[in-house]
Amino acid sequence: MTVKHLSLDYNKVSERGTFSPGDILSGRVTVDTSKETKVQCLLVKAKGKAKVTWQDQEGEATGTHSDKKKYFYFEHIILQDKKKGDGSEIIRPGRNVYPFTFVIPNIDMPSSYKGKWGTITYSLMAKLTQSIWLVHKTKTEVPFLTKSEFPFASKSDMIIIGLKEQQYATRISFYGSSKVTMNVTSEKMGVKQGDAVGISVEILNDTTHVVTPKFYLCEKQTFVAQSKRIVHTNESLFSSGDAVPAESTLTITKVLSIPPQLHPTFFNCCMMKLEYRLKVTLDIPLARDSEIKLPLVILLGSPKPHQQKPKRSIWFRKLPG
């Protein structure tokens, strides 16, 4: 084993450490050898791809659904023996550094993403072949960020208009001959990672029971392969509101902070998409339809060198009705 170490690294081009369409992806492959080494080939590959796969039960058989899409593939040969296989290329003993450069295509591509049944990955791989039995490989993922400010616009142009507008919904839940009316208003539909959104809930409780609102963040991942579709949902409790006494009316205002690590909403991948909702529920005994869901678009946040608290100055227009 004359090759002691094979490594691969790249140069950052942004404050985030991410790459985007049109960027130059450059770096170096480092090979450490104990003595003069003959090789057949040394190359580096750059690849961007999306892949979806899942299994489900179809009668007594288990069906597998999968699909993939290649956004780009480049291969740069650093060393290759002239006689194609006799190992005539020589790597000197010690540390050898070989630079490489790729230009990422300037086309619309989704950001890196890892979901329940699908991934969008961008990667570099170096491969050193000494013989058919002796091959060295090293691989690293490259964080990629779409250039699109709204990576859902191609599917939902009208959604952009409402990003800064208030969202409003009403739900009436019946409990016997009584009812509870819930009016929910969110400050806006579009919120950046790490920022906050204000929610106002007006509850008209005509029942003889105490009701308490709860606030949830709902995530929906959708995957498509071979004309089949599968959905993975997840929800987390944001907060609980004040209890509303029987036969009373109360307006509750909450400021909900969006976790900075949440992946932004996206639709610009043909095999998967990511959506969010704000959900408000009332724990009314034996009552149905006691929840409201409002659309929420999570936008890419600005990189912050120091952690900052979300702004708390939230204003609402008067609720209708």
Binning pLDDT at 50, 70 and 90, where does residue 157 land?
low
Indicate the DSSP class of residue 144: B
| pLDDT value at 151 more than 50 | yes
The amino acid that residue 72 corresponds to is F
Residue with tokens 């288990």: 62
pLDDT, mean of residues 208-230: 92
CB atoms closer than 10 angstroms to residue 184: 25
Which CATH fold would you assign to the domain 3-141? Immunoglobulin-like (2.60.40)
Q: How far apart are CA 104 and CA 21, in angstroms?
A: 6
pLDDT at 289: 60
Residue 230 has pLDDT above 80, yes or no: yes
Please check whether the two domains, 3-141 and 157-299, share a CATH topology.
Answer: yes
The span from the CA of 114 to the CA of 125, in Å, is 19
User: What CA dihedral angle connects 154, 160, 161 and 165, to 10 degrees?
Assistant: 150
Structure tokens at 124: 């570099």
User: How far is residue 244's CA from residue 241's CA, in Å, rounded to a whole number?
Assistant: 9
Q: How far apart are CA 174 and CA 254, in angstroms?
A: 25
The Cα–Cα gap between 95 and 33 comes to 7
How many Cα atoms are found within 13 Å in the side-chain-facing hemisphere of 109?
26
- Report the alpha-carbon distance of residue 113 to residue 49 in Å, rounded: 11
- Supply the pLDDT for residue 153: 56
Residue 108: phi, psi to the nearest 5?
-70, 120
Does residue 306 register a pLDDT over 80? Answer: no
Q: Using alpha carbons, select from 231, 269, 219 the residue that is nearest to residue 48.
A: 269
Identify the burial level of 204 via C-beta atoms within 10 angstroms of its C-beta, where 0-12 means exposed, 13-18 middle and 19 or more buried. middle
What does DSSP assign to residue 104?
-
Query: At 159, is the secondary structure helix, strand, or coil?
Result: helix
Q: Which residue has the tokens 């529920």?
A: 281
Q: Give yes or no for residue 8 having a pLDDT over 90.
A: yes
pLDDT digits (tens, 9 = 90+) for 289-298: 688 999 999 9
CA distance 207 to 174: 9
Rounded to an integer, what distance in angstroms lies between the CA atom of residue 244 and that of residue 228?
A: 45
Percent of the chain whose predicted confidence (pLDDT) is above 70: 87
Q: What is the mean pLDDT of residues 29-58?
A: 92
Amino acid at 43: L
What are the domain boundaries of the chain?
3-141, 157-299
pLDDT band at 131 (very low <50, low <70, confident <90, very high): confident
Distance CA 65, CA 71 (A): 20
Instruction: Identify which of 108, 104, 115, 106 has the alpha carbon closest to the alpha carbon of residue 142.
Output: 104
Residue 192: Cβ-neighbour burial (10 angstroms; 0-12, 13-18, 19+): middle
Q: Label residue 276 by pLDDT band (50, 70, 90).
A: very high
Proportion of the chain above pLDDT 90, given as a percent: 60
Residue 139's H or E segment, with its range, is strand 134-141
Pick the CATH number of 157-299 from 2.60.40.640, 3.30.70.2190, 2.40.30.130, 2.40.100.10: 2.60.40.640
* Cβ neighbours of residue 223 closer than 8 Å, sequence gap 6 or more: 52, 54, 115, 116, 117, 118, 229, 230, 231, 232, 271, 272
How sure is the predictor about 154, in pLDDT bands with cuts at 50, 70 and 90? low
- The one-letter code for the residue type at 236 is S
